[in-house]
Amino acid sequence: GQSLEQPSEVTAVEGAIVQINCTYQTSGFYGLSWYQQHDGGAPTFLSYNALDGLEETGRFSSFLSRSDSYGYLLLQELQMKDSASYFCAVGRGYGQNFVFGPGTRLSVLP
Amino acid sequence: EPEVTQTPSHQVTQMGQEVILRCVPISNHLYFYWYRQILGQKVEFLVSFYNNEISEKSEIFDDQFSVERPDGSNFTLKIRSTKLEDSAMYFCAMAGTSGNPGEQFFGPGTRLTVL
């Protein structure tokens, strides 16, 4: 089967750092992606890890441990516009569909 | 940045009616996908399409659903006889043969409401 777990909600204040965890159990694993989705919007790509370690893209970083079937998204210097839902998604091969996690709703408070 | 477009943005239909959702893909992207998202829930995979045929489909994608590229450009999802539980946001997405393998480009979605 395919299952991904994420916390349902996270709240933080502007300027803070927040970490959103994701654990997964899937048949086949190629890499772990992270997507952001604002209310009423489409998922937009943030970050991707195929190998263990940390990937940094501006204020966003993503980490993967394949042996632990675990990853996280780290958001630094939080801004109000970061309030959105964040989904981890497992890719099972190039061109294959993603299996999405349940999503974490991040609320950034002033 | 590449842009995927979908029409209509919102479709309201009566239960049992057929609907066709359309997606205009980005050129040079060869992998196409349809996902759906029931309000407040996760994004669920429906079907993937490559080289003008279905490459994979989920349990959700039953006989009521079909996909095609009728004119080699637009990519359509048809639901033959809609049910109340088909009410959801439907996203098309695509991926290329180069670039980041973890990235799919999503369209803005079509909100389907079945009454």
| Residue A107, amino acid | S
Q: Residue A57 burial (CB < 10 Å; 0-12/13-18/19+)?
A: exposed
pLDDT tens-digit series, residues B27-47:
777 788 999 999 989 999 999
Tell me if chain B has a CB within 8 Å of the CB of A30: yes
Q: What is the reported pLDDT for B2? A: 62
Higher-confidence residue of B114 and B4: namely B114
Tell me if chain A has a CB within 8 Å of the CB of B96: no
Positive or negative, the CA dihedral B77, B81, B84, B85 is negative
Tell me if chain A has a CB within 8 Å of the CB of B49: no
Q: What is the reported pLDDT for A42? A: 95
Give me the mean pLDDT over the A21-48 stretch: 93
Q: Is the peptide bond before B2 cis (omega within 30 degrees of 0)?
A: no
Tell me if chain B has a CB within 8 Å of the CB of A100: yes
pLDDT surpassing 70 at residue B1: no
Tell me if chain B has a CB within 8 Å of the CB of A105: no
pLDDT tens-digit series, residues B51-94:
888 988 999 999 999 998 877 778 899 999 999 999 999 999 98
Beta-carbon separation of A95 and B109 below 8 A: no
Question: A17, A79 in Cβ contact below 8 A?
Answer: no
Nearest to A43 among B41, B45, B106 (CB): B106
Higher-confidence residue of A88 and B1: namely A88
Q: How many contacts, defined by CB atoms under 8 Å, are there between A and B?
A: 64
Q: What is the reported pLDDT for B97? A: 67
Q: How far apart are CA B36 and CA A44, in angstroms?
A: 15
Beta-carbon separation of B101 and A94 below 8 A: yes
